[in-house]
Structure 1
């Protein structure tokens, strides 16, 4: 079972193999491909830093504890009709995305995210709506 915070549910949709450090990328790719290849993997929704935050590089500001990030987590979980403490299969999270999220939500919910301008997250949401699942990352 993996522990994930709210906004990382969206980050996983747009993940294309880039990140904050080689260690972060390795960790994110491993999780992303696990969920892609086994959508029955269990996810525990947590408040605050999760298993992806563990590999965030300690050079610079540690944004995982930033108030804005906690707010983004809460908004995303609320939008998806999910709650902290829930345990779901990844495929159930994808189902919640199909029911409650549209690609343009990224522009509002993730307005301050530095990765937003790449457009990959909107593309990831469209692919979930098309039932393609997560994209392969090599």
Structure 2
């Protein structure tokens, strides 16, 4: 199986420490973090993904808003520039230790954070990154 993620969630997963919009959202994200930590591949998708799923039954879910799709585009471009390969819809990414380290180094340096502009979680993510990613739930297992 694969975890379906929209491009900006490639950034969000780097700092996820178990906080989210709702209890259902957070519980779902914790399960996804475990799958990613176990090395399940990521399939990059357009629009709402596996992380968004618990929010889609809300009236006017933000997952469909232009501000979020714009965030996806900025994240896609940043990740592609960093990795030197496609990171848009249809791309398959293995969240192994090398990938996570490279992404986290760039995130902490601020070089892939244009998509984070005006995100309500940005300060939390900055704090997590500055702590050396202490307590993150997506971490490649050593096999």
TM over 0.5: yes
Q: Higher helix proportion, which one?
A: 1
Distance 2:20 2:104 in 1: 26
Deviates more, 1:78-87 or 1:115-124: 115-124
* CA spacing shift, 1:136–1:69, aligned 2, 3 Å: closer
Unmatched 5+ stretches in structure 2: 81-86, 139-143
Distance 1:84 1:98 in 2: 21
Task: Find the counterpart in structure 1 of residue 83 from structure 2.
Answer: none
Structure 1 ranges of 4+ moved more than 3 A: 57-61, 105-108, 119-122, 124-127
TM-score between both structures, scaled by the size of structure 1: 0.76
Matched-pair contact (CA < 8 Å) for 1:13–1:121? no
RMSD in angstroms over aligned alpha carbons? Answer: 2.9
Equivalence map 1:40-59=2 (5 Å): 40-56=39-55, 58-59=57-58
Task: Find the counterpart in structure 1 of residue 5 from structure 2.
Answer: 4
Matched-pair contact (CA < 8 Å) for 2:3–2:43? yes
* CA spacing shift, 1:102–1:66, aligned 2, 3 Å: same
Task: Find the counterpart in structure 2 of residue 117 from structure 1.
Answer: 123
Task: Find the counterpart in structure 1 of residue 84 from structure 2.
Answer: none
Distance 1:33 1:62 in 2: 25
Unmatched 5+ stretches in structure 1: none
